[in-house]
Structure 1
Amino acid sequence: MKIQEFHVGPRFISGKGATTKISELPIQKAYIICDPFMEQSQMVGKVTEVLRNSGATFKIFSKVVPDPTVQVVSESIAEIRDYKPDTVIALGGGSAMDTAKAVIRVYSETEKTESPYLIAIPTTSGSGSENTAFAVISDPVYNEKIALVDDSMVPNLAILDTAFTMTVPPSVTADAGMDVLTHCIEAYVSNKASDFSDACAEKGIRLTWKYLLEAYKNGDNTLAREKMHNASSLAGIAFNNAGLGICHSLSHAIGAFFHVPHGRINAYLLPYVISYNASLEAHGETDVTRRYAEIAEIIGLAKITPTQSVVALISAIKQLSEKMSIPARIEDLGINRSEFESMITKMAQRVMEDACTPTNPRTVTLGQIEKLYRSLR
Structure 2
Amino acid sequence: MSSFVVKTKVYSGVNAFNYLKDYPIKNACIITDPFAASSGMVKLLTDVLEEMGSEYRVFSDIVPDPPMDVIVTGVSKIMDHEPDAVIAMGGGSAIDTAKAISYFYLQISGKTKPLCVAIPTTSGTGSEVTEFAVVTDREKNVKYPLVDELMLPDIAILDPRLTLSVPPAVTADTGMDVLTHAIEAYVSVDATDFSDTLAEKAVKIIFKYLPMAYDNGHDIEAREKLHNASCMAGMAFNNANLGINHSLAHAIGAKCHVPHGRANAIILPYVIAFNSGLRVISDDDCSKAMRKYAKLASLLHVEAGSNRQSVKNLIAKIENLSEALAIPTSLAAQGISQEDYKMFRNEIAAAAMVDACTPTNPRKPSNHKLRELLDMCYYETAL
If the length of structure 1 is used for normalisation, what is the TM-score? 0.98
Residue 328 of structure 1: CA displacement?
A: 1.0
Q: Is the CA contact (8 Å cut-off) linking 2:25 and 2:54 kept in structure 1?
A: yes
Residue 55 of structure 1: CA displacement?
A: 0.6
Q: Which residue of 1 aligns with 2:104?
A: 106
Q: Per-residue displacement from partner, 1:142-190 (whole Å, max 9, x unpaired)?
A: 1110110011111000011111011111111100000000000000000
Alignment of 1:347-362 (within 5 A): 347-362=348-363
Residue type of the alignment partner of 2:375:
R
Q: Which residue of 2 aligns with 1:319?
A: 320
Residue type of the alignment partner of 1:289:
M
Q: Which residue of 2 aligns with 1:248?
A: 246
Residue 28 of structure 1: CA displacement?
A: 0.4
Q: Distance in 2 between matches of 1:9 and 1:208?
A: 24
Residue type of the alignment partner of 1:266:
N
Q: Distance in 1 between matches of 2:119 and 2:7?
A: 14
Q: Per-residue displacement from partner, 1:249-291 (whole Å, max 9, x unpaired)?
A: 0000000111111000000000010010011012547111111
The match for 1:166 among 164, 167, 185 is 164
Q: Distance in 2 between matches of 1:253 and 1:330?
A: 13
Structure 1 counterpart SS, 2:279: helix
Residue type of the alignment partner of 1:135:
A
Structure 2 counterpart SS, 1:332: coil
Residue type of the alignment partner of 1:140:
R
Q: Is the CA contact (8 Å cut-off) linking 2:66 and 2:96 kept in structure 1?
A: yes
Q: Per-residue displacement from partner, 1:226-256 (whole Å, max 9, x unpaired)?
A: 1111100000000000010000000000001
The alignment-based identity, stated in percent, is 47
The match for 2:177 among 169, 176, 179 is 179
RMSD, aligned CA: 1.0
Q: Is the CA contact (8 Å cut-off) linking 1:145 and 1:253 kept in structure 2?
A: yes
Residue 332 of structure 1: CA displacement?
A: 2.7
Alignment of 1:28-47 (within 5 A): 28-47=26-45
Structure 2 counterpart SS, 1:325: coil
Structure 1 counterpart SS, 2:333: helix
Q: Distance in 2 between matches of 1:74 and 1:56?
A: 26
The match for 2:118 among 84, 102, 120 is 120
Alignment of 1:38-187 (within 5 A): 38-187=36-185
Query: Number of aligned pairs?
Result: 375
The answer for unaligned runs of 5 or more in structure 2 is none
Q: Is the CA contact (8 Å cut-off) linking 2:294 and 2:303 kept in structure 1?
A: no
Q: Per-residue displacement from partner, 1:296-344 (whole Å, max 9, x unpaired)?
A: 1111213321000111111110110010101112233231122112211
Q: Which residue of 2 aligns with 1:211?
A: 209
Q: Distance in 1 between matches of 2:219 and 2:375?
A: 40
Q: Distance in 2 between matches of 1:171 and 1:346?
A: 28
Residue type of the alignment partner of 1:104:
S
Residue 9 of structure 1: CA displacement?
A: 2.9
The match for 2:21 among 20, 23, 28 is 23
Q: Which residue of 2 aligns with 1:290?
A: 291
Q: Distance in 2 between matches of 1:359 and 1:49?
A: 43
Q: Which residue of 2 aligns with 1:375?
A: 376
Q: Is the CA contact (8 Å cut-off) linking 1:279 and 1:286 kept in structure 2?
A: yes
Residue type of the alignment partner of 2:309:
Q
Q: Distance in 2 between matches of 1:232 and 1:257?
A: 26
Q: Distance in 1 between matches of 2:264 and 2:15?
A: 31
Structure 2 counterpart SS, 1:286: helix
Q: Is the CA contact (8 Å cut-off) linking 2:29 and 2:58 kept in structure 1?
A: yes
Q: Distance in 2 between matches of 1:241 and 1:145?
A: 21
Structure 2 counterpart SS, 1:333: coil
Residue type of the alignment partner of 2:258:
V
Residue 192 of structure 1: CA displacement?
A: 0.5
Structure 1 counterpart SS, 2:190: coil
Q: Is the CA contact (8 Å cut-off) linking 2:195 and 2:235 kept in structure 1?
A: yes
Residue type of the alignment partner of 2:342:
E
Q: Bigger shift: 3-12 or 277-286? A: 277-286
Q: Distance in 2 between matches of 1:249 and 1:9?
A: 25
Residue 20 of structure 1: CA displacement?
A: 2.1
Q: Which residue of 2 aligns with 1:272?
A: 270
Residue type of the alignment partner of 1:311:
K
Q: Which residue of 1 aligns with 2:341?
A: 340
Q: Is the CA contact (8 Å cut-off) linking 1:89 and 1:119 kept in structure 2?
A: yes
Q: Distance in 1 between matches of 2:181 and 2:81?
A: 36
Q: Per-residue displacement from partner, 1:189-244 (whole Å, max 9, x unpaired)?
A: 00110111101101111111111111111111111111111100000000000010
Q: Distance in 1 between matches of 2:180 and 2:372?
A: 21
Residue 112 of structure 1: CA displacement?
A: 1.0
Residue 81 of structure 1: CA displacement?
A: 0.5
Q: Which residue of 2 aligns with 1:199?
A: 197
Residue type of the alignment partner of 1:296:
A
Q: Is the CA contact (8 Å cut-off) linking 2:276 and 2:287 kept in structure 1?
A: yes
